[in-house]
Amino acid sequence: MKSFKFLSIRYDNEASKLEILDQRKLPDIEEWLECKEPSDMVTYIKQLSVRGAPLIGVAASMSLYNHVRCNQGKLNDQEILEISNQLRQARPTAVNLMYAIDAMVQVGQEKKDLTADNLGKIACKIIDDEVEMCDKMSKFGASLIQPGESILTHCNTGSVATVGSGTALGIIREAHKQGKNIHVYVDETRPLLQGGRLTTYELEREGIPYTLICDNMAACLMRDGKIQRVLVGADRIAQNGDFANKIGTYSVAVLAHHHKIPFHGVAPMSTVDLNCKSGKDIPIEEREASEVQGASGSFGKVRWAPSTSKTFNPSFDVTPSELVTSLILDTGIYSQQELLNFALLKFKK
């Protein structure tokens, strides 16, 4: 394993030190949290210090590798599998987490090789693949963007959600790099404000022009012709092209459909779950009431609703494929029918 440093996660190979950037504190405070034990990573994933579908897969696999490496010869296979299960269960919706852990513990292979050396090689490959997939998605997606477009995005899908340039935000970054003179409308993304806190943070760093809006403002912007395209990420894509993404994505898809604006889901292949036939099979995480009763961030924690308020707080929703113009994956741009054909081919193998 080599040392590495991304915007969201870093590893010091000599010191066996794994750290993640605490995304709860962004944009004002850049604080790194050390992951000494896999149980730390489980906590960081649950509390969204580390978040974004591709990133939680990478973070979980690195914490498993580092733990085995630091305890060489002291852990048997059963213990390693138990730890991997705890990591696997940290969050239920983003399939990248399960995909990465399954790759680490070689699910489906009869004979397992759970040595630190081997786990390190697999973690490295997961990271390299994610970086490459971000680049490929960005290039495919940017080819669709017309000069001067204003693009709406929801949640955060950039470098803090991946170990590369991002998914939907990667396309935006690439289109900006290509001089397409784009403008980005950023949904603040209640309740945890990933758009307002994180996407703005990344766009500021990159010098990409943007306007922050509240989630209930997209409709009038669309009606007034101010948005030409919607790009969002995905946490799990089913065989039929339905996909789960941050709560609120479905509303944006309905609005885009009504206003005849192209709407694209963007994700690496590690987000495609061919075991899910449709969106109905995707498990949706529900989170605690306090997130809806108030807000928290680098400004601290505030509550405006009574602490006894009953709330509904699903972290994700499912956008049905009929509302999706195309899915932009690292292997290309797919219509619903093309994705179905692709799924069938994979199943036949």
Ligand X SMILES: CSC[C@@H](O)[C@@H](O)C(=O)COP(=O)(O)O
Q: Which residues are catalytic?
A: 235
Given the complex with ligand X, which of 313 and 336 has the nearer CB atom? 313
**Choice between 104 and 247, CB closer to ligand X:** 247
Q: At what angle do helices 168-177 and 116-142 cross, to 10 degrees?
A: 60
- The nearer residue to ligand X, 217 or 284, going by C-beta atoms, is 284
Task: Supply angle C-alpha 241, 242, 244, rounded to 5.
Answer: 125
Phi, psi for 336 (deg, rounded to 5)? -60, -45
Rule CB under 6 A: which residues touch ligand X? 48, 51-54, 94, 155, 157, 161-162, 166-167, 194, 233-235, 245-246, 315
Nearer to ligand X, 63 or 167 (CB): 167
Instruction: Report the residue number, 243 or 334, with the smaller CB distance to ligand X.
Output: 243
Measured CA to CA, the distance from residue 195 to residue 219 in angstroms comes to: 17
User: What single-letter amino acid sits at 23?
Assistant: Q
* Least spacing, CB of residue 60 vs ligand X, in Å: 13
Helix (H) / strand (E) element for 26: namely: none
Give me the least distance between CB of 232 and ligand X, in Å please.
6
Residue of 106, 86, 100 lying closest to 41 (CA atoms)? 86
Full DSSP string of 70-93 = HTTTT--HHHHHHHHHHHHTS-SS
Minimum CB distance to ligand X, residue 57 (Å)? 10
- H-state helical runs in the chain: 38-46, 53-70, 77-88, 95-104, 116-142, 168-177, 200-206, 218-223, 249-258, 290-293, 336-348
> Minimum CB separation from ligand X for residue 161, in Å?
4
Rounded to a whole number of angstroms, the minimum distance from the CB of residue 123 to ligand X is 19
Alpha helix ranges (H) inside 77-217: 77-88, 95-104, 116-142, 168-177, 200-206
